[in-house]
Amino acid sequence: MGSFSLWVAVRASQIFAELLDGEGLFKFLASMCLRRRCPPKFLDKAEEGRGFCLLDLPESALDEILCRLPAASLCQMMGVCRELRVRCRSDHLWKCLFDAKWGRIAGAVAYKEWQWRVARNSHYGDVDCPNSGNRIRSLSCIWPFSWLKGQGNEKKEKGGSSLDSIVVWYCALESGNFWFPGQVYNREHGNVGFMLSCYDAELSYDHRTNTFRARYPPHNSRTTVIEEGVEWERVRAPPVDTPAHDLHLTDCLDELQPGDHVEVQWRRNEEFPYGWWYGVVGHADMCDRDSHHCHCHLDDTVWLEFNQYTLGSRWRRAAVNRKTHHVEGNESDGFYGGIWKLRTKDEISAWRQLWPREALE
């Protein structure tokens, strides 16, 4: 096929895919593929004479169509024929779907946990895969369908998906059977004691409500707490790989200056886990806040301000030493640990959207 003809085919595929929604596109593509699978005696004369199949398209045109399918339709396409089963589970198709839905939530820590679980328990490969209206076993998505088992008894076909492929990882998260490590803003339904904080939790997705279940680990005399109905905007992947009871090693103290947005580890006492609390770097009491005369960035003391609290509140300001900071605080006011500087507008915006309607005491 010439380059011009290939361009026409690809462009036509783009326009065609835009005209149909995911379900309509799936039904049309499946009917095209069934023409190849059906013997000629089952086709009418018009179809037999036409003889065109989806798989006759150029590779680039076919990929252009498949990459526009939602996850549920892509899973369904795996059941149409052998060729599409192999093609529709390729990582390059699923990476875009994964990044769009799970990229912000399921980070490197969650993926490491998933690999560890799969290595220990092979049944974690048997997860649900998204489907319209119900769920189908990933065994039907990843391994051969029952109607193809006559083609061979291999557990996995050549070119099939391994347990660490993106489609299996996607289906594991979608199923809700896998609890993965993450963090929750304003835990326990926005309990005032946790306002503008973010705590470690194990998360499980509930596809029926499109929300999460959060399981907070026990500490002190408290038992495990499970919170239902956690919305997407309240969950995130941990920004640093630091366990909740460990001190984060701060590497940004030398560059902190007034106006910087930060997250600060804080906990009530050593029996409690650290949570990450949103704050900004403030000015020293003696500073006139004039940017031309301010030297706060040169001081050894860094003032952390938590402006969600009222003026005069003991939680409003805290001081840490730029050169010797390790853990600051006491049993009365709690302990301030590591500091993480926010560097993107998205990171800051996630906190600002959760700002309380009234100042906290």
pLDDT tens digit string along 260-318?
A: 999 999 999 888 999 999 999 999 999 988 877 899 999 999 999 999 999 999 999 99
Q: Who's near 225: CB < 8 A, 6+ residues apart?
A: 188, 215, 216, 218
pLDDT tens digit string along 315-352?
A: 999 999 999 998 999 988 899 999 999 999 999 999 99
Does the pLDDT at position 76 exceed 80?
Answer: yes
What DSSP assignment string belongs to 229-286? EE-GGGEE--SS---TTSPP----GGG--TT-EEEEEEESSTTSPPEEEEEEEE--TT
CA–CA dist 98, 111 (Å, integer): 12
Tell me the pLDDT of the chain averaged across its residues.
78
Degrees to nearest 5, angle at CA 113 with 110 and 116: 155
Does the pLDDT at position 128 exceed 90?
Answer: no
Between 52-66, 158-172, 194-208, 315-329, the lowest mean confidence (pLDDT) is in 158-172
User: Between these two residues, 164 and 196, which has the higher pLDDT value?
Assistant: 196
Q: What six digits make up the tokens of 315?
A: 């939680």
* Residue at token pair 């193809």: 148
Closest CA to 338 of 260, 254, 252: 252
For the chain, the first-to-last Cα distance in angstroms comes to 72
Closest CA to 234 of 198, 185, 197, 275: 185
